[in-house]
């Protein structure tokens, strides 16, 4: 009985310690998020190293337009972006290969909306949605390890 009580107390302290450390981790990440506006990201390039000599990137071209290159697909996407409450929202508009297919082709680009946040020198994907039919969107998962780093 005494051993059981000691084990319960030990488990309670372990859970409390874990919860406290997670709370502190969240506070650390909050501190890294600073107020941004489009003027602070114009002409910045954010990269992800897929493999040796293969790099994805997001380039904020001006105060409203971006370019996203996927090395694996060999495709460039262009779109517009907005910034609200330090969240960058990318709205895909077209692909480099878009015009190679008929308008009703399944090979045409399926549009995405991406929500990202800058934390220090990292660009983190928070959420995304893929358009699967007119007016119909599904949430799309971005792997946690896919973090872009500010170049330069």
As a whole number, mean pLDDT of residues 103-109 equals 70
**Of residues 105 and 48, more confidently modeled:** 48
Pair of tokens at residue 27: 């506070």
> Are residues 46 and 13 located together in one domain of the fold?
no
The CATH number that applies at residue 137 is 2.40.128
As a whole number, mean pLDDT of residues 71-78 equals 92
Q: Give the 3-state secondary structure of 48-94.
A: EEEECCEEEEEEECCCCEEEEEECCCCEEEEEEEEEECCEEEEEEEE
DSSP 40: G
Convert the pLDDT of each residue in 80-89 to its tens digit. 999 999 999 9
> Are residues 59 and 91 located together in one domain of the fold?
yes
> Are residues 23 and 52 located together in one domain of the fold?
no
How many independent structural domains does the chain possess?
2
> Are residues 57 and 16 located together in one domain of the fold?
no
Q: What is the pLDDT of residue 124?
A: 95
Q: Is the pLDDT of residue 107 over 80?
A: no
> Are residues 54 and 84 located together in one domain of the fold?
yes
Q: What is the pLDDT of residue 81?
A: 97
Residue 28, H or E segment = helix 2-32
- Answer for the pair 142, 129: CB distance below 8 angstroms, yes or no: no
> Are residues 73 and 43 located together in one domain of the fold?
yes
Pair of tokens at residue 82: 């907005």
As a whole number, mean pLDDT of residues 132-147 equals 89
> Are residues 61 and 78 located together in one domain of the fold?
yes
Convert the pLDDT of each residue in 109-126 to its tens digit. 678 999 999 999 999 999
**Of residues 6 and 78, more confidently modeled:** 78
Convert the pLDDT of each residue in 8-44 to its tens digit. 444 344 444 444 444 444 444 444 556 788 889 999 9
Angle at the Cα of 31 from the Cα atoms of 145 and 19, rounded to 5 degrees: 70
Residue 118, H or E segment = strand 112-119
Measured CA distances, 120 to 32, 35, 151 (Å): 5, 11, 12
> Are residues 3 and 46 located together in one domain of the fold?
no
The mean predicted confidence, pLDDT, of the chain is 80
As a whole number, mean pLDDT of residues 67-87 equals 94
Confidence of residue 140 (pLDDT cuts 50, 70, 90): confident
> Are residues 1 and 50 located together in one domain of the fold?
no
DSSP 107: T
Give dist(CA 52, CA 76) in Å, integer.
19
> Are residues 83 and 112 located together in one domain of the fold?
yes
* Domain assignment of residue 20, given as a range: 1-32
> Are residues 26 and 91 located together in one domain of the fold?
no
């Amino acid at each position: 009985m005494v051993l059981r009580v000691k084990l319960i107390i030990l488990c309670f302290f372990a859970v409390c310690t874990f919860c406290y450390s997670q709370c502190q981790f969240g506070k650390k990440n909050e501190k890294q998020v600073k107020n941004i506006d489009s003027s602070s990201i114009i002409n910045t390039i954010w990269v992800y190293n897929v493999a040796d000599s293969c790099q994805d990137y997001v380039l904020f071209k001006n105060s409203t337009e971006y370019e996203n290159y996927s090395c694996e697909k060999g495709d460039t996407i262009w779109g517009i972006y907005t910034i609200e409450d330090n969240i960058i929202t990318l709205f895909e508009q077209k692909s480099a290969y878009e015009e190679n297919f008929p308008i009703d082709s399944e090979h045409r680009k399926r549009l995405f909306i991406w929500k990202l946040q800058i934390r220090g020198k990292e660009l983190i994907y928070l959420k995304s949605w893929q358009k699967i039919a007119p007016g119909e969107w599904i949430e799309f998962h971005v792997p946690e390890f896919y973090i872009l780093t500010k170049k330069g």
